[in-house]
Structure 1
Amino acid sequence: MYQKINILLIFLLLGTVLQAQDGKKAPFNIGEVRTIESQHLDETRTLNIYLPNDYHPDSAAHQTIYLLDGSAHEDFLHIVGLVQFFDLQLDAPPTIVVGIANVDRKRDFTFHTDDAELKEQFPTTGGSAKFMAFVEEELQPFIQENYNVNQERILIGQSLGGLMASEILLKKPQLFSKYLIVSPSLWWDNESMYNQMDTLLADQNFDNTEVIISVGQEHPMMIKEAAGLYQSLALAEKKNLKVHYQYFEKEDHATVLHVSIYEAFKILYQKEK
C-alpha cells in the first residue's frame, strides 16, 4: 500500500517538473532597436530605445534621455534600470531612453588634435563635429518624428562620452536641457578645450539648462578638470543655468557612472516628490 502511494507521489512530482520544464517562453522586451542612416557619419547607426510602460503615441509627450555609450553591452541596460526605478519610487516623469550604440567612440567623441602621441593612440580621432551634426540634424529630428516627445532632453556621457557632452554644452547648449557629465576626459588635446572654457561660455546663452558634473577618486587631472568645468559654469553667472557638482571619494573610473546617475536623478526628481 505504502509502496503504491510512494510510486504515485513520484509520478505526480515528475509530472510537475516536466510540466514546469515545458513552460511557454516569450521574449522579455524593454524597448526596441532602430537603425538610422547618417549622412554626416556616412554609416548606419543603431539605436536602443526604451519605452516606458504607459507609452502610447497619443499619450502626453515624454521627456527623452540621450545616452552616449548606449550599446546593449555598455551602459544602456543599467541606465534604463535607474530610469525605471525612479519612475516607480519617486514618480519621475515617464522617460524614453535613446541609447546611441557605438561604432567608434574614439572617433566620434574626440575633436581634432595635432598631438602626435594622441594621433598614434587614437588613429581615427577627430570626428566630434560630425557626430554633433548627426545628433542635431539627424538623430533628434528622427526621434521627434517617430516618438511622442517633448523638449525636455537629457544627455548622459562619461569619460570620452563626457568630453563629447562637455563639447556640446560649451558649443551648442541648446541641444539639451539637462547635461549629466561624468568624469569628462577634458585632458584631450593637452586640455585645449578646458583652457578655452571661459571664452566658449561667454558666447553662449542658456534656456533653463541644468548641468550635473560628477567625478570619483580618479586621476588627479580628471578630478581637477571636472571641478574646473563646474567652477567655470558657476562663475559665468549665466541666467537660466543651474550647476551641481558631485565628488565620490569611494568610487573610481569604473564604478562612478552608475552612482553618479543615481545621485543625479535624486537631484532632478526628489524635489518633485
Structure 2
Amino acid sequence: MLAAAPLEAQPVPQLAAATPIVVGQSQAMEYRPGDVRQVNVYLPDGYADSGKAYPVLYLIDGGLSQDFLHIAGASQLGSMWGRSQPAIVVGIETKDRRAELIGSRGNTEQRKAYPTAGNSAAFRTFIRDRVKPFVASHYRTSGADAVIGESLAGLFIVETWLREPSLFGSYAAVSPSIWWDDGALAKQAPKLIGPRQVGHRLYVATEDEGADYQANFERLTAALSGHMGWCYALRPDVTHATIYHAVSPEALQFLFPPSEAPDPQFGFEVQCSRKS
C-alpha cells in the first residue's frame, strides 16, 4: 500500500487592513452629577453632502445595547423604499428604566418591588434642556421631530403626550406598559387630553394579552375619540417580544410620511384598528 503524500500548506492570501463600519456618532452627556448617558446619533444617507435639513427621530432606550441599531436600521430601510422620510435618529440611553420612564410610583406591590420608580419628569427635563438643544446646535434639523419607544419607553411616550405634548411634534408608543399602577395613566387620560395636544399626532400599537390588559387601551382610545390625528393598532398576530420589529416601519411612516405616496404594489400601509 502506498502512503498518501502529505499536503503542502497553502499560503494564506494577504488581505487589506480591515476598516471599521461606522453607523453613527456617540456623545457622552451628564444626566445628573456622576451619571453620564450616551446620546447616539445616526445620520441619514447623503447627510454629509446634501446640505439639507432633516427631521429628528428621538428614540427612548436608545443605547447601543438597547434599541438604537434596530430603529436606525428601520429608518434607513424606510427611507430607501420611500416609505418614510430620511431622518436623524437620536438614541437616548436609559439606565434605571422604572425611575426614568414611569411617572407614578405604582401600586403597593410595585412600590415594594421597584422603590426607585416614578421620576419620569426628571428624564423629560434632561431631554428638553440638554439633549434637544445639543441636537439643534450640532446638526442640520428641519424643526420637525418625533419620538418612539417600546414597553416602559412607550409608557413614557404616552405620558409625555398627555402631560407635555409640546416636547415633540409626533409620538409613537409601541406596546406601552399602560398596565403600570393599575392602569392609572389611562384612567387619567380624559382629564389630560385637550387643546394642548392639537397638532401632535399619536401612534399606539399593542399586542393582545387578554381582557384585563386591553381594558386600559379601551379607556385610552375612548379618551382619544374626540381628538384628531391618532392611530391605534391592535396586533393580535404578535407578542410583546416581537411587536417592535414588526410595527416600527409603520410607526415611522406615520411619524414622517413621505412627500409622495409609496407605490401601491409595495403594500406600505399604516394599519389602524381605530383612528381619527
TM > 0.5 fold call: yes
| Cα distance in 2 between the residues matched to 1:97 and 1:244 | 22
Could you tell me which residue of structure 1 aligns to residue 268 of structure 2? none
Instruction: For residue 170 of structure 1, give the secondary structure of its aligned residue in structure 2.
Output: helix
Give me the whole-angstrom Cα distance separating, in 2, the residues matched to 1:42 and 1:198: 39
Name the SS for the 2:229 alignment partner: strand
CA-CA distance at 1:236 after TM superposition = 2.6
Q: Deviations over 1:51-86 (max 9, x none)?
A: 112113981211111111112122111111111111
| Partner SS for 1:204 | helix
Closer, same or farther in 2 for the Cα pair 1:34/1:57, shift >3 Å?
farther
TM-score, normalised with respect to structure 1? 0.84
Q: Give the drift of 1:158.
A: 1.2
- Are 2:106 and 2:118, in contact at CA under 8 Å, matched by a contact in 1? no
Q: Does 1:193 align with 2:185?
A: yes
**Distance in 1 separating the partners of 2:158 and 2:34:** 24
1:95 counterpart residue number:
87
Shift in alpha-carbon separation, 1:157–1:171, aligned structure 2, 3 A:
same
| Distance (Å, rounded) in 2 between the aligned partners of 1:246 and 1:140 | 29
Residue in structure 2 matched with residue 261 of structure 1 by the alignment? 248
**Secondary structure of 2:238 counterpart:** coil
Counterpart check, 1:28 vs 2:15: no
Higher helix share: 1
Q: 2:232 matched to 1:232?
A: no
1:185 counterpart SS class: coil
1:90 Cα offset (Å):
1.1
Residue 13 (structure 2) pairs with residue 19 (structure 1):
yes
Shift of 1:210: 1.8
Query: Counterparts in 2 of 1:37-186, with a 5 A limit?
Result: 37-39=30-32, 43-56=35-48, 59-90=51-82, 92-113=84-105, 115-186=107-178
> Which residue type is aligned with residue 34 of structure 1?
Q
Q: Any idea what SS the aligned residue of 2:71 has?
A: helix
Residue type of the partner of 1:216? E
* Structure with the greater alpha carbon radius of gyration: 1
- 1:129-158 Cα offsets, whole Å, 9 max, x none, are 101111111111111111111221111111
Q: Please state whether the residue corresponding to 2:153 is helix, strand or coil.
A: helix
Take 1:199 and 1:36, find their aligned partners in 2: how far apart are those partners? 35
Aligned Cα root-mean-square deviation (Å): 2.4
> Residue 219 and residue 162 in structure 1: after superposition, are their counterparts in 2 closer, same or farther (change >3 A)?
farther
> Tell me, what secondary structure is at the counterpart of 2:25?
strand
The structural deviation recorded for 1:47 is 1.1
Q: Who is 2:203 aligned against?
A: 212
Task: Compute the displacement of 1:94 (Å).
Answer: 2.0
For structure 1, the residue ranges without an aligned partner over 5 or more in a row are 1-9
Q: Quick one: which amino acid aligns to residue 64 of structure 1?
A: V
Please tell me the residue identity of whatever aligns with 2:252. Answer: F
Q: Which of 230, 238, 255 matches 1:243?
A: 230
Give the Cα separation in 1 of the matches to 2:77 and 2:161.
27
Q: Within 2, Cα distance between the matches of 1:195 and 1:63? A: 33
Is the 1:183–1:226 Cα contact (8 Å) retained in structure 2?
Answer: no
Task: Look up the SS of the partner of 1:92 in the other structure.
Answer: coil
Q: How far apart, CA to CA, are the structure 1 residues paired with 2:139 and 2:236? A: 39
Q: TM-score, normalised by structure 2?
A: 0.84
- The residue that corresponds to 1:3 in the other structure is none
Report the secondary structure of 2:214's partner residue: helix
8 Å CA contact 1:185, 1:222 repeated in 2: no
Residue aligned with 2:219, SS: helix
Equivalent position SS for 1:253: coil
For 2:154, the aligned partner's letter is: G
Q: Residue 271 of structure 2 aligns with which residue?
A: none
Q: Distance in 2 between matches of 1:83 and 1:28?
A: 18
2-structure distance, mates of 1:118, 1:246 = 28
